[in-house]
Amino acid sequence: MTMITALDTFDVRFPTSRELDGSDAMNPDPDYSAAYVIMRTDQPGLAGYSLAFTIGRGNDVQKAAIDALAHHILGLDLREVAGDLGGFSKRLINDSQLRWLGPEKGVMHMAIGAVINAAWDLAARLAGKPLWRFIADMTPEELVATIDFRYLTDALTPEEALTMLHAAAPGKPKRIEQLLAEGYPAYTTSPGWLGYSDEKMQRLAREAIADGFRTIKLKVGMNVEDDIRRCRLARETVGPNIAIAVDANQRWNVPDAIAWLRHLVDVKLEWVEEPTSPDDILGHAAIRRAVAPVPISTGEHTHNRVMFKQLFQAGAVDLVQIDAARVGGVNENLAILLMAAKYGVRVYPHAGGVGLCELVQHLAMADFIAITGKKEDRAIEFVDHLHQHFVEPVVIRNGRYIAPQTPGFSAQMHADTLTQYRYPDGPVWMEPVDIVNAH
Amino acid sequence: MTMITALDTFDVRFPTSRELDGSDAMNPDPDYSAAYVIMRTDQPGLAGYSLAFTIGRGNDVQKAAIDALAHHILGLDLREVAGDLGGFSKRLINDSQLRWLGPEKGVMHMAIGAVINAAWDLAARLAGKPLWRFIADMTPEELVATIDFRYLTDALTPEEALTMLHAAAPGKPKRIEQLLAEGYPAYTTSPGWLGYSDEKMQRLAREAIADGFRTIKLKVGMNVEDDIRRCRLARETVGPNIAIAVDANQRWNVPDAIAWLRHLVDVKLEWVEEPTSPDDILGHAAIRRAVAPVPISTGEHTHNRVMFKQLFQAGAVDLVQIDAARVGGVNENLAILLMAAKYGVRVYPHAGGVGLCELVQHLAMADFIAITGKKEDRAIEFVDHLHQHFVEPVVIRNGRYIAPQTPGFSAQMHADTLTQYRYPDGPVWMEPVDIVNAH
């Protein structure tokens, strides 16, 4: 028997606010951070790695929430964790006392998601497969057994999910070959941060196209005149055949979103992301109706499957983002992907931050193989920073994510990063600011 | 100048799971707990008291989240806190880095709510008024200035709120007299915990009526046959003129709620509380349509004003609960009360737990005086335990809350309670269990 022996956590922060990478209308000065988790076993060399992503202050609270889950895990037989990913997830999510702190939202749900994702990493490593392949190789019955259908059955039943997965199963071997040969489309937000000058935006947009990207995204929402100018400039720069999305990061009230977006209709946007509160399902539906045919989306802050369910039921969105580290782990994201497939809503996974690209690529690839069979009408977000801190960083070639081949969920960080960027006492945080910028 | 000098926090837990007080279909063994806050000043004897309520595990995480807010508060001039309750609330809620941990939901939002409520307590103490009276005495303009209308303007604008408050203003002096003379209706959940025998439920129901309560509430959702039997027994016991509500504590999926509730139609329920996930606005609307005229409600876990807004917009509920310690403090609850008034939805505040009765009575009384002018068609929940730990416990007479007269928000605990029940090292938690039960 192999036993879970420790749940080690780390408050790791990167001083990204010292430049303006990651600046948007709601997040002017993020310090991209991770509440990082190592789920250790007594088998030499075997551990599960995962993280919850935050943007600085509060990363210590996120770490404390993960620590509060240790009693659920320490001493467990590995078979109760990696061998029963559905049962393991339900035990954490349905802890009746911890549930009060959500339920299924915010700090505690992200903590549970991080621990569940560490269990999936461990399971995939045990199987010797990258996570996307580990999911793709599950039978429909095995995959459905990982999902908690509580609160979902008015939109998706286990039987419907099984039917969808069985229908997709015969094509899996061919799609695995396709994925390995072609990669999965990426899109890039790198040109579009609000802190960048017009010239820097245009230069980065041209570079993105030269690098093979077919979709770019700009941040909007601070000033309507600026947005009109920047979006038109971007359209002139990239031409009519590159898709341009915009992201307002929850900046607007519903009536303001409608008024603002009417100014941007002529830019021919691929989608408008997070026009208002991520909680406002009816608000997204109202915006979508008012500015049609401008496509509306949200999802990176959508906190659980019940909220995604309603976005689909209300016809509130044309497409959605999913985030690997916001909801209750792989299990809940599989439920969301299945609902999106049933409702015919395309998924453009949210990434960037710290490790979000590394994690979410596996979910998109598993969706292509095992659920929807589609990848060329969608794309995974890509932002090119902080990948050097990961043992198996994402590989982007010609604007596409190359499928990872090494076992696991790709979230393991270098030991040196944990030492250097530990908050508040790692060397990076102890140095004077002008030295830090040289890193 | 008076300065904020400390934000002291305490992990206080009561071993309520050792008896079955508080047991329901989702929370079989709660240990009612408080992440308790003292906002200290350098003026002798002046401090603000507040708490976030949890049910045991995770209370340490809740405390850590409150601690993470200290840097926003320490060293502030009292005028920036008690003298600008709107600005103070917005600064906390819009901290761009902490916002990522919600936004406006879960552990971090409850922490912010606790700190904001401590500021209101401080402000009311400074004014020498109980909180309900402090709010009632605000001008419409002062009250509206405390509210963040972000994400609300499609349902309620500041101008509409002002109009409502001005319309209510002339009746305020008369209603203050009425409240002081009559108290505010209470209802009781004491007979209805799932762990109680039929005989105990009947005995407590009879006692409740003898004590003057006109509404009782039973927990349901574990077993449909039990629920039918208990509800019919309760109806036989109390007769046709006492209102009976039931509370499923989020137990059901939408189709299950509909099927289950059809068995209870003949009991003539006053309302059905939390039939499904608190996030499922469209689900509540679907249940309400399917089981009409059975009244549907939710709210104690509704995490912010955007969710309440949608409950009202979707016609998802006949009435709502509010909770004093779930959302972002008094400010956000005032926004919710104003929206409920506009949409004509009655509010039955959630209480029980630790200190929730003490806190929420002020909000209901302020609503009566300053907003709706109504109290006899609604009631505040009352559960008779743990009040002895508060310096100014609620006073219930003839089934009614008596308006508090002492300054503040009534959440101050006895110093001895903080010592005895401190977790994990207070005497109550260090003693063998059989001794604890004697407390």
How do residues A202-215 score in pLDDT, each as one tens digit?
999 999 999 999 99
Question: Among partner residues B58, B253, B307, which is closest to A151 by beta-carbon distance?
Answer: B253
Whether residue B328 is found in the same domain as residue B426 = no
Contacts of A277 in chain B (CB under 8 A): 103-104, 150-151, 306
Could you tell me if A63 and A110 lie in one domain?
A: yes
- Nearest Cβ partner for B61 among A107, A278, A303: A107
Nearest-CA distance from A149 to chain B in Å? 9
Query: Does a structural domain hold residue A285?
Result: yes
Q: Confidence class of residue B104 from pLDDT cuts 50, 70 and 90?
A: very high
Tell me which chain A residue has its CA closest to the CA of residue B278: A103
Confidence at B113, pLDDT banded by 50, 70, 90: very high
The shortest CB-CB distance from B102 to any of A101, A106, A282 is to: A106
Q: Are B269 and B288 in contact (CB under 8 A)?
A: no
Q: Residue B190's pLDDT is what?
A: 87
DSSP, collapsed to helix, strand or coil, labels residue A46 as coil
Predicted confidence (pLDDT) per residue in B372-420, tens digit = 999 999 999 999 989 999 999 999 999 999 999 999 999 999 999 999 9
Do A48 and A100 reside in the same domain of the chain? Answer: yes
Average pLDDT rounded to a whole number, residues A386-402: 98
Q: Are A78 and A187 in the same domain?
A: no
Q: Residue B434's pLDDT is what?
A: 54
In a shared domain, residues B48 and B82: yes
**Contacts A–B by Cβ distance under 8 A:** 198
Does residue A148 fall inside a structural domain?
A: no
My answer on whether A290 and A352 are in the same domain is yes
- Does residue B422 sit in the same domain as residue B393? no
Q: Would residue B162 count as lying in a domain?
A: no
A291-306 mean pLDDT: 97
Assign B37 a pLDDT band (cuts: 50, 70, 90): very high
Measure in Å the smallest separation between the Cα of B343 and chain A Cα atoms.
16
CATH of the domain at B85: 3.30.390.10
Per CB-CB distance under 8 Å, the chain B contacts of A149 are 253
Strand partners, A45: none
Residue B19: band (very low, low, confident or very high) from pLDDT cuts 50, 70, 90: confident
Taking only residues 71 to 130 of chain A, the set having a beta carbon closer than 8 angstroms to any beta carbon of chain B reads 95-110
Chain-chain contact of B100 with A55 (C-beta, under 8 angstroms): yes
Looking at the partner chain, which of B29, B106, B281 has a beta carbon nearest the beta carbon of A101? B106
> Is B222 in CB contact (< 8 Å) with chain A?
no
Average pLDDT over residues B278-305: 98
Residues A95 and A195 in one domain: no
Decide if A144 is inside a domain.
no
What per-residue confidence (pLDDT) applies to A337? 98
In a domain, A202, yes or no: yes
8 Å CB contact of B304 and A279? yes
Q: What is the mean pLDDT of chain A?
A: 95
How far apart are the CA of B67 and the nearest CA of chain A, in angstroms?
A: 9
Please tell me the distance from the alpha carbon of residue B12 to that of residue A141, in angstroms, as a whole number.
45
Q: Which residue in B has a C-alpha nearest to residue A62's C-alpha?
A: B101
> Which residues of A are catalytic, by number?
219, 350
Same domain, residue pair B87 and B192: no
pLDDT at A437: 45
Q: What is the predicted pLDDT for the residue at B21?
A: 64
A54 in contact with B at a CB cutoff of 8 Å?
Answer: yes
Describe chain B by its helix, strand, coil percentages, rounded to 5: 45, 15, 40
Which pairing describes strands B296-298 and B319-320: parallel, antiparallel, or unpaired? parallel
Q: Are residues B190 and B104 in the same domain?
A: no
**Residue B436 pLDDT grade (very low, low, confident, very high; cuts 50, 70, 90):** very low
Per-residue confidence band for A195, with pLDDT thresholds at 50, 70 and 90: confident
- Chain B: residue whose CA lies nearest to A277: B151
Question: Which DSSP string corresponds to A75-131?
Answer: T-BHHHHTT-HHHHHHHHHT-HHHHTT-SS-HHHHHHHHHHHHHHHHHHHHHHTSBH
Mark whether B49 and B95 lie in a shared domain. yes
Q: Of chain B residues 28-47, which have a CB less than 8 A from chain A?
A: 28-31
pLDDT on residue B437: 45
Residue B274 with chain A: CB contacts under 8 Å: none
pLDDT at position A27: 74
Under 8 Å between Cβ of A147 and A334:
yes
| Residue A369 shares a structural domain with residue A259 | yes
What is the residue range of B288's domain?
A: 170-414
Residue to substitute from A101, A251, A281, A339, interface B, most B β-carbons within 10 A: A101
R_g (Cα) of chain A, nearest Å: 21
pLDDT at B32 over 70: yes
Give the domain CATH number at B229: 3.20.20.120
Indicate the pLDDT class of residue B435, thresholds 50, 70 and 90: very low
Distance, in Å, from the CA atom of B431 to the CA atom of B439, rounded to the nearest integer, reads 11
The answer to whether position A147 is within a domain reads: no
User: Looking at the 3D structure of chain A, how many domains does it have?
Assistant: 2
Distance from C-alpha of B52 to C-alpha of B62, rounded to nearest angstrom = 7
Asked if the model's pLDDT at residue B439 lies above 70, the reply is: no
Active site residues of B: 219, 350
Q: Would you say residue A431 has pLDDT above 70?
A: yes
Structure tokens at A238: 């990239």
> What would the pLDDT profile of A94-131 be if each residue is shown by its tens digit?
999 999 999 999 999 999 999 999 999 999 999 999 99
